[in-house]
């Protein structure tokens, strides 16, 4: 992935995905609810719901998370 010099890395999808993985790693269960996970991520860094969902979609596409009856399931 090529990253431009003039972009803010804290707003890039790979950075938000890494922060989201950190939040999920701190969750003791294998699955997590959507909104509490968003609140935990938002406590670490101010993020919009749409950016959170985009990061979650990206993690799903790369196989880091999956869907478990509407809950976020860790695949790591």
Q: What is the CATH number of the domain that holds 48?
A: 1.10.10
Domain assignment present for 4: no
38-74 pLDDT tens trace: 999 999 999 999 999 999 999 999 999 999 999 999 9
Provide the pLDDT for residue 9: 73
Phi–psi pair at 32, nearest 5 degrees = -140, 150
Among 49, 28, 30, which Cα is nearest to 38's? 49
Q: Rounded to two decimals, what is the model's pTM?
A: 0.86
Domain assignment present for 39: yes
Among 73, 8, 75, which Cα is nearest to 47's? 8
Distance CA 42, CA 7 (A): 21
Range of the domain at 16: 10-74
């Amino acid at each position: 992935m090529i990253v431009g010099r003039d972009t803010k890395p804290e707003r890039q999808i790979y950075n938000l995905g890494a922060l989201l993985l950190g939040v999920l790693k701190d969750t003791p269960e294998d699955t997590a609810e959507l909104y509490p996970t968003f609140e935990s991520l938002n406590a670490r860094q101010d993020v919009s719901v749409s950016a959170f969902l985009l990061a979650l979609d990206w993690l799903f596409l790369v196989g880091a998370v999956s869907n478990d009856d509407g809950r976020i399931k860790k695949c790591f």
